[in-house]
Amino acid sequence: MKKINLKNKLSQLRDKQASADELLQQVKQILQEDDKKDQAIYQEIKEGTSRPDKNFFKPELMEIENIFHISQIKQLCIVYRLRFLNSRYFKDDLPYEAIIKIKKLQKQHHTTLKGFKILAPAKAFKLRNADDPLLFVPIGKGYYYLIHKWGNDLSVWRKLLVWPYRGIQYMAVFVFLLSVIFVALVPSRFTNGELTPPKFLLFAFIMFQWFGGLTLFFMIKKGKSFSHMVWKSPYLNA
């Protein structure tokens, strides 16, 4: 007796219920509907026309590790000099994994998510090559739900490199330390003999003024501001 080919039997059952043209049309319609959902989500993220302060979620289905308050997001932005902006300012490509997660959330919670925001370095909103973007939606009263993270992790040196930009007091300390190091490295022949403590402090104060003026000129010329002032700014020269 011949063995039974399950695929052939399944094909026979399928062919009894619908013709090839009908089946192809049904599949095509399903794919078109799914593609429309993808396009709607992508358009909402890229255009960001609606700006609600909350989205509907079923609390029992939410993952607590993805819930963050705006104060925590702000602190992270200041420490690492990041931006937290409406998704329409984001200029890099959005990974399809993010679309899949959004569709999954919308199906689970029976809702349509709006008001997307992205946390990323400033260059990610004007240039390509984003580092470690995070996609959020608001859930009300200052809380946001993390949907997806992609890209490369931030460099371990970023926190140190952007430390002076946290505020004017941090910049002052940085300029003073830079002045002290500079004076300490200057050969004695340029300081008219050995540097005594009073003499060292005098030169350090002079260099502090010089470096401070140079830093102020640079920040004004480049339109730079401190991190706590620009973490929600959509402008590049900030």
Q: Say how far apart CA 213 and CA 215 lie, in whole Å.
A: 5
Q: Are residues 113 and 173 in the same domain?
A: no
Q: What rounded mean pLDDT belongs to the chain?
A: 76
Q: Does this model's pTM top 0.75?
A: no
Confidence of residue 56 (pLDDT cuts 50, 70, 90): confident
Let me know if residue 3 belongs to a domain: no
Question: Structural domain tally of the chain?
Answer: 2
The DSSP output letter for 175 is H
Residue 127, pLDDT score: 40
Q: Say how far apart CA 34 and CA 187 lie, in whole Å.
A: 71
Let me know if residue 88 belongs to a domain: yes
Let me know if residue 15 belongs to a domain: no
Residue 233, pLDDT score: 67
Which residues span the domain enclosing 226? Answer: 163-230
Q: Are residues 180 and 133 in the same domain?
A: no
Q: Are residues 143 and 76 in the same domain?
A: yes
Confidence of residue 22 (pLDDT cuts 50, 70, 90): low
Question: Is the model's pLDDT at 67 over the cut of 70?
Answer: yes
Burial class (CB in 10 A: 0-12, 13-18, 19+), 54: middle
Give me 108's structure tokens: 């689970």
Residue 37, pLDDT score: 76
AA identity, residue 226 = F
Confidence of residue 115 (pLDDT cuts 50, 70, 90): confident
Question: Is the model's pLDDT at 228 over the cut of 80?
Answer: no
AA identity, residue 54 = K
